[in-house]
Amino acid sequence: MVAGMAIHYLNDVKLKVAGATEPQTKINHSMSEAYAFIFGIQFVNNTPMSSNDINILLAGIDSDFVGFTQSVVLINSVIDQIALATGLDSYKNDL
């Protein structure tokens, strides 16, 4: 569930950016939710993602939060990594 919610909020960020009408503050709200769920993946029992894996994902986001939220390529990369590690196969909207 934690991984699914992280992906949900990352997809929400993409939708907000694609609409080009949402202010960065609303995009940041969805991104902060995604960030928190990504962070939480490491605490789920039997998670296939280590703390190091999670820290690497989060470091990429931390380096340029606004730039990250504006890049569908970067968002999709994080979604793909989470989905691959957790076995989620129906996860990404087409943006």
The percent of residues in the chain predicted with pLDDT above 70, rounded, is 94
pLDDT, position 61: 85
Q: Which residue has the higher pLDDT, 42 or 20?
A: 42
30-49 per-position pLDDT tens digit:
999 999 999 999 998 788 88
Q: Quickly state the pLDDT bin for 91 (edges 50, 70, 90).
A: low
CB of 58 within 8 A of CB of 38? Answer: yes
What element of type H or E holds 92?
Answer: none
Residue range 57-83: average pLDDT?
87
Counting DSSP H helices and E strands in the chain, the numbers are: 5, 0
Closest-CA residue to 53 (of 65, 43, 63) = 43
Question: Is 95 a residue whose pLDDT tops 80?
Answer: no
Residue range 69-78: average pLDDT?
90
